[in-house]
Amino acid sequence: MLLLSLGLTAILAVYVAWNLGANDVANSMGTSVGSKALTLQQALVVAGVLEFTGAVLFGQDVSETLATKVVNPALFEETPQLLLIGMIAVLLSCGLWLQIATSQGLPVASSHAVVGAIAGFSWVAVGIEAVDWTNIGRITLAWVVTPLVSGILAVGLYSLLKYSILEQPNPIEKLVEWIPWLSASMLSVFGVIVLPTIFARPFFATLPFPAHDLPIATAAVAAVILTIVSWRQLAQNNSTEVPKSGSNLQLYSPVERQLGKFQVLSACFVAFAHGSNDVGNAIAPLAAITYIIQTGSVPLDSLSIPLWILLLGGAGIVAGLAVLGKKVISTVGENIITLQPSSGFCAEIATATTILLASRAGLPVSTSHALVGAVVGIGLIQTQQSVRFQTVKSIALAWLITLPVAAGLGAIIFSIAQSFIAQTNLFLPGVL
């Protein structure tokens, strides 16, 4: 019975991760496809690898927040079966809403969906006091701040590129001067935010030198290598008027083509960041369900996410992206503004920085908020084009309705599931 119970809930978690991959992974690759730095097929491969890696290596904290800090678990201590059934309702409601949004090409916020569903079922199950409104407030504030922070970062970086490189009379020479700084700044984002967490793991504590030096050393070496490679590629591109015929960047200037190479790396960072943050939306309910089934009690203050659950969530995200991700990628990458590699690069660096900081803090934010904020910010300062606000309005409407729709679905599905599971005794008799 235990294996059957875990198997059924694991299938539901994969269903959510599948739909999350189909919808949200567009946020990591939409700008690269839109600017032609990557083809759709290349984007799918890159995103698949990095999303999976981010989910497994950096997805613990956000998953723990969603599993234990949105609902007040102490109110379910005497009735752990209610929390178990509620988390099943969360998986079903989130999966259904993400599937509907993906079919319409709308990049909704899966974090809105899971938080709304948790709040909806817990309100019905125990009452309004079951919702941890303090943490809901923190999460909601992060949703509001995320696009603003990402937009400001993107505008600042793009303005710097325009002034220092793109609008100079000798942009190639200026790019040569700036390549080391671009390499260092991009890799510093990853090195400062992500690597300390990875190198803090027990394995690295056994090394004969201080593990806290590894993030700085790793980022520095990577920045030097990236600088040397970029200089060589720029020299090769500048030696011929037209790049190889198979290049998807051949319509751009040498400067834009080189920035397109940087954008590929920045897209990798966004994919990693997305996997680290949004995998929690799929696996946090499964982690809570697994804990309840195995122990017969509810997780109170903290919850360790088993590796197999992180692996399952990462695999589900990749599968959904590969099969259904194309439609939302087009919305983000092509239907808000017309992107070039320089603007796409800035949007992605801003997004990755914002999301990785949120993941480090354990906050389940929306990657689509961050990326759309960055793209809109850049569009507003580009005088040669206007932002397609009709697309932005459609995306914003999808964001706004996700929370109440998910809450309603969570409440309805919880009521139905509670009756069905209680009658069939589908899970462990000791729990129900």
**Is the Cβ–Cβ distance between 387 and 165 less than 8 Å?**
no
Query: Is 163 a domain residue?
Result: yes
CA angle 274, 109, 420 (to 5 degrees): 110
Asked if 64 and 305 touch (Cβ cutoff 8 Å), the reply is: yes
Residue 432 placed within a domain: no
Place of tokens 């996410």: 305
pTM of this prediction? 0.78
Residue 154: per-residue pLDDT: 93
Give the whole-angstrom CA distance, residue 185 versus residue 179.
Answer: 10
Query: Would residue 36 count as lying in a domain?
Result: yes
Tokens of 16: 């959510």
Q: Where does residue 294 fall: left (phi above 0), alpha (psi -120 to 50 degrees), or beta otherwise?
A: alpha
Note whether residue 337 is domain-resident.
yes
Alpha helices for 25-132 (secondary structure H): 26-34, 40-58, 60-68, 80-103, 110-125
d(CA 332, CA 329): 5
Q: Domain for residue 431, yes or no?
A: no
Q: Name which of 282, 284, 279 is nearest 299 in CA terms.
A: 284
Per-residue pLDDT of the chain (432 residues; tens, 9 = 90+): 566 667 778 888 888 888 877 776 665 666 677 667 777 777 778 877 887 887 777 777 777 777 777 888 888 888 888 888 898 899 999 888 888 877 776 667 777 888 889 889 999 988 888 888 887 888 888 888 899 999 999 999 999 999 999 888 888 888 888 888 888 877 877 777 666 666 666 555 566 555 556 666 776 777 788 788 877 777 766 655 444 444 555 556 788 888 887 888 887 887 787 777 777 777 888 888 888 888 888 887 777 778 888 888 888 887 887 776 666 665 555 556 667 888 888 988 898 888 888 877 777 787 778 888 898 888 888 765 667 777 778 777 877 888 889 999 999 999 998 887 666 655 544 444
Residue 430 located in a structural domain: no
Q: Is residue 214 part of a domain?
A: yes
> 209-240 pLDDT, tens per residue?
555 566 667 767 777 887 888 777 777 666 55
| Assigned token pair, 400 | 């706004």
The amino acid at 65: T
CA distance 197 to 57: 9
Q: Using an 8 Å Cβ cutoff, are 174 and 165 in contact?
A: yes
The stretches of 162-253 forming alpha helices (DSSP H) are 171-193, 195-199, 202-205, 214-239
Looking at residue 11, its amino acid is I
In the numeric block, which tokens belong to residue 284? 């946090």
Amino acid at site 232: R
Number of domains in the chain: 1
Report if residue 133 sits inside a domain.
yes
Give the structural domain span for 76. 2-424
Q: What pLDDT does 432 receive? A: 46
pLDDT of amino acid 156: 94
Neighbours of 144 (CB within 10 A): 10
Q: Is 180 exposed, middle or buried (0-12, 13-18, 19+ CB in 10 A)?
A: middle
